[in-house]
């Protein structure tokens, strides 16, 4: 093993991990802002139901953004913090304007697909680095989000 960082992990492996975590941070940030837009702009028959669900989701994403950024810092690196950097890294695109609840839920499901896939990549990297902290975080996120995918899919009758 090469040089170790402050928490005893290989510095080269944690640099790769921090890079992927910054990519996750960018995707979470776009997902968060999109979900705020769904919450604000939703109209129609399912307004009350979806307005609350989108609020729950963006509050959870807000916490995850902070946890991911703090994990990057724990590994000894700097989290990106501006949308210019996020736009370069995020696979989740900016949602322009969604008032249709079904469309909003479809976009949430698409975002989860990207996020969960990326978190699995991070899980592989954290396993290789022996980074139990990142590993546990990603495992918890994946388990929780897979259940949300099931629930949102059920809402769309998929």
- Tell me, what's the pLDDT at 48? 95
Residue 2 pLDDT > 80, yes or no?
Answer: no
Mind listing the domains of the chain with CATH numbers? 11-155 (1.20.1260.10)
Q: Is the entire prediction scored with pTM above 0.75?
A: yes
Give the integer Cα–Cα distance in Å for 116 and 68: 14
Average pLDDT over residues 27-46: 96
Give the integer Cα–Cα distance in Å for 92 and 86: 10
φ/ψ (deg, to 5) at 4: -100, 145
- Tell me, what's the pLDDT at 61? 98
């Amino acid at each position: 093993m090469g040089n170790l960082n402050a928490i005893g992990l290989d510095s080269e492996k944690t640099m790769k991990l921090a890079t992927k975590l910054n990519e996750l941070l960018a995707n979470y940030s776009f997902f968060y802002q999109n979900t705020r837009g769904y919450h604000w702009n939703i109209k129609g028959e399912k307004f009350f139901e979806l307005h609350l669900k989108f609020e729950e989701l963006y509050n959870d994403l807000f916490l995850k953004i902070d946890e991911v950024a703090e994990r990057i810092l724990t590994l000894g690196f700097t989290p990106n913090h501006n949308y210019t950097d996020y736009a370069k890294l995020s696979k989740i695109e900016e949602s322009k304007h969604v008032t249709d609840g079904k469309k909003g839920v479809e976009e949430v499901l698409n975002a989860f697909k990207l996020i969960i896939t990326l978190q699995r990549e991070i899980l592989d990297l954290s396993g290789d680095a022996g980074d139990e902290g990142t590993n546990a975080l990603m495992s918890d996120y994946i388990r929780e989000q897979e259940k949300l995918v099931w629930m949102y899919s059920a809402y769309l009758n998929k």
